[in-house]
Amino acid sequence: MNSFWNGKRRWLAGLLLLAAIWVTANVPPVLPIIQLPGEKFPEGWDLPVIGRITNTFVGIVVVWILLIILAFYLRRAQPKSGSEVPSGGFYGFFEWMFEGLLSFVESIAGGPHIRVAFGMFMTIFLLVLLSNWWEIVPGVDSFGFIEAHVEEVVVVDEETGARTVVVEPLDGFEIYPSVVGFALNGQCPWIGDEADEEAAVTAIIAAYGDANQAREEALDKVAFEEFKTVHGGESDESENGEPEDGDHEGDESSEDIEGASNGADEVAETAYLDAQTTYLANKTARIASNCYSGITIFAWSDYDPDFDSTAEGASDQIRQMLEVEGNDEETAEDTTDSGDEDSEEVIDETGEEEGVPLHANPSDEEDRKKVPWVVLPFARAPSTDLNFTFALAIISVVTIQIVGVRAQGPGYFTKFFNVKTIFTSPMGGMDLIIGLLELIGEFAKILSFSFRLLGNIFAGSILIFVVSFLLGWLSWAVFIVEFFVGIIQAMIFGMLTAIFINIATQAHGHDDDHEEEH
Amino acid sequence: MGEAESIILAGKAIGGGLAMIGAAGGGIGIGLSVGGAVQAMGRNPDFTPTIQTNMILGVAFSEAVAIYALVISLIILFVL
């Protein structure tokens, strides 16, 4: 092995490492969305029996295929008789590894049931090793679907009447599969500057100020009219018919006041809504503030041009949501029945409608500016999914129990329910309690197995993401760490299973009380 | 970012940080087991492979407890 890296190859390796450091220092990747459960594929990609698949499932399927290929290759490359020397280098390496691990397992878990113990060890070791190593393969966790990522909504607060609208995850988004890489830098060229945001906020305040001023002017005018008619009516009260006229005029002027104030309110609200929806339509493109999306190398889509894909579509949806609340407030003031029916109809209509779906295409220049895009990776290391580690832990612990029963018969369970010494010795009850604690320990073993593997590998993948994002030029070191962590964790999982199988097959003969009887 | 969202983010950050205090126990446990192993290797150098194997076993158990704390911290930060 040492002779492989002599001469020019050494310089080439050093040059590649320096090139990697230079590239990652100048074009650092973008921090991805980190999520503990496996991300589910979009709905068009369901399998017939299994249903929605996750990207960790894709990882484990690849691991199965690799293991099956390994098995077939080893079978074919195996020498027919003991005298033949294996030809392939990989077969020789695998045989060396196999024998090394066999002697290792014999030293820690030897005994009559070494075949079962070593069988479980090797199976678990190979499966977990390939699952762990999947996280350092280039392309995993970085290539995937593009999907729209929009933050959540707070609808109008009914108690205070405050209108705070933040954009909702619009479910009408289609997901467009594409092959992407990380963005070339952390800046999103299509998201506006801080200056744009300030200008938008200023525009909102100005519009609200203008509308408010218009409203106040209208109210002042109406109040002046009312004052004129009231005082004008008093001078005519000496005659009989005219107080009625004065009252009618007063009613008209009060209606005018209401109508004018409502009109002014509507003007103010419309202006405020316009400014705010423009601001929000720009803000939706800014919400994922670190620009989680990637560049699209190749994309295809079923973009439907009939749907409204402009920012006005979003503002219409928000406007509909707000109009419901606006109608509620007005009907509280009015006493007419028609107002209630109108508000109910509007509520029913917006309840039935699903809102305006936004179909935006990530490869289109204009559409890209509307929402932030994130990458949903095609594949992820299966060990980062609690389903996989938990299932493997259950398999291990149940296998331990089965092997124990096969070795000792049903008397194996007296390890947990130890009632032999209850009546024969003064401290016999202790054995029962210790046995029950061991039973609890078996369940703790399941949790411990699963979370040890999950924690190591998932934290390792987060470490890769974060170190690549923060210190791009040091990410090669993290990959080396994860390489060894993968090996060590696979070995520990298998080793603990083998050790516990060994313990389970030993007779339960450690008590001194038993020896006194015999 | 709205007020409620800021409070939630702050709560998440505090929870994630506090949850990692449990990793101190893992560090102490690993230090004790490796210290005992190194002492034993000093007394009995011929026995080193067995001692090393048992040391790795003890380190794995102890590290698992620290990893439990890390998993809780990750769940607080990324799932809740």
Q: Tell me what the pLDDT averaged over chain A comes to.
A: 68
Query: Min CA distance, A206 vs chain B (Å)?
Result: 22
Looking from the CA of B67 toward its CB, the CA atoms found within 13 Å total: 22
Residue A132 confidence (pLDDT):
94
More confident residue, A375 or B23: B23
Q: Does residue A235 or residue A387 have the better pLDDT?
A: A387
How far does A165 lie from chain B, in Å, by closest CA?
A: 10
Q: Is the pLDDT of residue A153 over 80?
A: no
What are the tens digits of pLDDT across the range A78-88? Answer: 777 766 776 67
pLDDT value of position A303: 33
The two most distant CA atoms of chain B are separated, in Å, by 66
Which range has the worst mean pLDDT, A223-232, A261-270, A368-377, A402-411?
A: A368-377
Highest average pLDDT, of A17-26, A128-137, A190-199, comes from A128-137
Both structure tokens of A342: 């109108």
Structure tokens at A250: 């007063």
A109 band by pLDDT with thresholds 50, 70 and 90: confident
- Please state, in angstroms and rounded to a whole number, the distance separating the CA atoms of residues A487 and A128: 9
Chain A residues within 8 Å of chain B (Cβ atoms)? 34-37, 104, 107-108, 154, 164, 166, 448, 451-452, 454-456, 458-459, 462, 488, 492, 495-496, 499
pLDDT at A129 over 90: yes
* A35: closest chain B residue by CA: B78
Separation CA A354–CA A403 (nearest Å): 57
Pick from A407, A428, A404: nearest CA to A517? A428
Backbone φ and ψ of A176, nearest 5°: -110, 115
Q: Which residue has the higher pLDDT, A150 or A111?
A: A111
Query: Across-strand partners of A178?
Result: A299
Q: Among B62, B67, B72, B77, which would you mutate to test the A interface (most chain A Cβ atoms within 10 Å of its Cβ)?
A: B67
Partner-chain contact A462 B74, CB within 8 Å: yes
Residue tagged 């974060």 (tokens): A466
How many inter-chain contacts (A to B, CB under 8 Å) are there?
Answer: 49
- Asked whether the predicted pLDDT for residue A297 surpasses 50, the reply is no
Decide which of A50 and A321 is more confident.
A50
Instruction: Evaluate if residue A333 carries a pLDDT over 50.
Output: no
CA-wise closest residue to A472 among A140, A21, A15, A137? A21
A386 contacts in B (CB within 8 Å)? none
Burial class (CB in 10 A: 0-12, 13-18, 19+), A19: exposed
Q: State the Cα–Cα distance between residues A450 and A251, nearest whole angstrom.
A: 78
Question: What span, in angstroms and rounded, lies between the C-alpha atoms of A385 and A390?
Answer: 9
Q: Residue A146 — φ and ψ, nearest 5°?
A: -100, 130
DSSP string, chain B: --HHHHHHHHHHHHHHHHHGGGHHHHHHHHHHHHHHHHHHHHH-GGGHHHHHHHHHHHHHHHHHHHHHHHHHHHHHHHT-
Characterise A471 by phi-psi region: left (phi > 0), alpha (psi -120 to 50), beta (else): beta
Give this prediction's pTM. 0.63
Contact assignment for B67 to A36 by CB distance below 8 Å: no
A249-291 confidence digits (pLDDT tens): 444 555 665 666 666 667 666 666 666 666 555 554 444 333 3
Q: What is the pLDDT of residue A310?
A: 43
Identify whether the C-beta of residue A70 lies closer than 8 Å to the C-beta of residue A97.
Answer: no
Q: Can you give the length of chain A in residues?
A: 518
In this prediction, residues A175-182 reach a mean pLDDT of 34
Q: Are B36 and B19 in contact (CB under 8 A)?
A: no
How do residues A339-391 score in pLDDT, each as one tens digit? 333 333 333 333 322 332 344 455 555 555 445 556 678 888 999 999 999 99
So what's the pLDDT on residue A62?
94
CA distances to A145, B9, B10 from B76, rounded to whole Å, are: 26, 11, 12
Asked if A331 and A245 touch (Cβ cutoff 8 Å), the reply is no
B48 contacts on A by Cβ (under 8 Å): none
Q: Which of A396, A456, A404 is nearest to A135 (CA)?
A: A456
Pairing of strands A294-299, A144-148: unpaired
* Beta-carbon separation of A35 and B79 below 8 A: yes
Chain center to CA of A339 = 44
Q: Which residues touch A278 (CB under 8 Å, ≥6 apart)?
A: A200, A203, A311, A315
Rg of chain A's alpha carbons, rounded to an integer? 36
Query: N- to C-terminal Cα distance for chain B?
Result: 18
What is the Cα–Cα distance from A413 to A438, expressed in whole angstroms? 11
CB contact under 8 A, A455 and B67: yes
Contact B71 A451 (CB under 8 A): yes
Sort A405 into a burial class: Cβ within 10 Å, 0-12 / 13-18 / 19+: middle
pLDDT at A244 over 70: no
Is residue B62 predicted with pLDDT exceeding 50? yes
